[in-house]
Structure 1
């Protein structure tokens, strides 16, 4: 059973105390900086873990005026959309309410997951080092996110799309490599991001997942290069393993994976288990493949993306 450490009490709490009972995951992200994006990513992993355990989930996002930019960058990272809910009141009789919030953020009554901040460092417009630290009055930072591509909006009218930024430019018109929150017309940085260039969103997702959610994360070129190399190696290996006869995930491996993510969403332990499986000499390749595909239901790293690609 998934248990998380309540940031308010410091005690472990069942994320789904009633069998098949609804858990409401409410995300509080008032800004559009990388730390707020990490809050959504932690909530996305929480929802995935609950669903893997058979728990129905109601996922909601409450935020500030920059929610459109945050949602666009979240979509680029493979974070599934959260319902827009400024005031959910008593909800639908859920068995548990879990609030996911930035470290030190205030939330209503309920279990709280506090997400530690992200420090982004890299070359700024003039070539000197740039650091994501300053925040505006609404709690958001005026720095670009290091994503490599224009964001997408949702015209379906289901609450995912938001009004255009103040400059009048739509999200679709945002230049490639320039991320949410960047608007030269309003005095915000218009360069290609705090790391000086576009980054594969899945690489950024892995980089943000390498640290436990209660531990600060530092993003720089070295961290992203390591994440990029790991993803390339794993995707190539998964594509090779897929050519061998399938074998089930070994019970002990499945147990270690579930034990890791059910222990306060310990994703770094999940990644360590994948490294162990990668190097386990006696494990059939078909079992390695199924293990990575199984773990990716939690991680969302598109580890099977290169299946069928030329060697």
Structure 2
């Protein structure tokens, strides 16, 4: 049963991802405990390739949050050093060199993250739609956290147009959330409500829907029934997946 069709009371959510070869949702983590390989297959270092790398990073984070051991690899012959540098600025965790790499010891699952129409060896194929860069200046001139938020704000299967308005919007949202998180941190801590945690996990475990996680955060901010301490814990928890450094301004005046 797809994650989106499961009842809220489902005891243990499992990350499911669409296999681009079949169009079917499959378990991203193996049923038996074992190593999962996440391998990114960019073709170069343009914004679409950066999106491929970011989706792979998101997949690694989601699997690790679920307790699955992960082996992260990067395959690509063209401008790999440039892509690695751009990814590091974006908060992407280091990936090992995936060229001429055989199976890992105890490897139980292989997930290949590819650009739309890209090819990879056997395994689950996670397809990423292209990015159309229409903003002034190259991506490297953009605040990396703002660019990361822009790339996360739409489902990975949707072609993404990045223009000045999108960057400005993301910049305003990021600055606002960081100020809010810093202010909430001054309030007594409160646990994340079960319903909010369930909504977050249901979003990212249903086909790695980062945009759904962002919608939950918007709802949490506007929920008058939540204590500020619970809002803080919610944003800090979600940021383990999103990687937006939402707690960066802790210690700033309220």
- Report the TM-score, using the length of structure 1 for normalisation: 0.76
Matches of 1:92 and 1:216 in 2, distance apart? 36
Residue aligned with 2:93, SS: coil
Q: Gapped runs of 5+ residues in structure 1?
A: 125-143, 148-197
- State yes or no: 1:117 paired with 2:130: yes
- The 5 A counterparts of 1:188-267 are 198-267=141-210
> What is the CA deviation profile of residues 215-256 of structure 1, one whole-angstrom value per residue up to 9, with x for unaligned ones?
111100000000000001100000110000000000000000
- State yes or no: 1:36 paired with 2:53: no
- State yes or no: 1:6 paired with 2:31: no
Cα pair distance change 1:308/1:17, threshold 3 Å: same
Q: Is the 8 A contact 2:20 2:125 kept in 1?
A: yes
- Report the TM-score, using the length of structure 2 for normalisation: 0.93
Matches of 1:92 and 1:79 in 2, distance apart? 24
Matches of 2:115 and 2:175 in 1, distance apart? 31
Flag the structure with more relative contact order, 1 or 2, with Cα contacts below 8 A and sequence separation at least 6.
2
Runs of 4+ in 1 over 6 A off after TM superposition: none
Q: Is the 8 A contact 2:45 2:78 kept in 1?
A: no
- The 5 A counterparts of 1:153-164 are none
How much has 1:30 moved relative to structure 2? 2.2
Q: Is the 8 A contact 1:20 1:54 kept in 2?
A: no
How much has 1:123 moved relative to structure 2? 4.3
- State yes or no: 1:94 paired with 2:107: yes
Matches of 1:36 and 1:99 in 2, distance apart? 13
Q: Is the 8 A contact 2:129 2:157 kept in 1?
A: yes
Q: Is the 8 A contact 1:5 1:13 kept in 2?
A: yes
Choose 1 or 2 for highest CA Rg.
1
How much has 1:63 moved relative to structure 2? 0.3
Higher helix fraction (1 or 2): 2
> 1:191 aligns to what?
none
> What is the CA deviation profile of residues 278-301 of structure 1, one whole-angstrom value per residue up to 9, with x for unaligned ones?
000110000000000000000000
94, 103, 111: which is aligned to 2:116? 103
> 1:26 aligns to what?
39
73, 88, 100: which is aligned to 1:60? 73
> 2:89 aligns to what?
76
Matches of 2:94 and 2:153 in 1, distance apart? 22
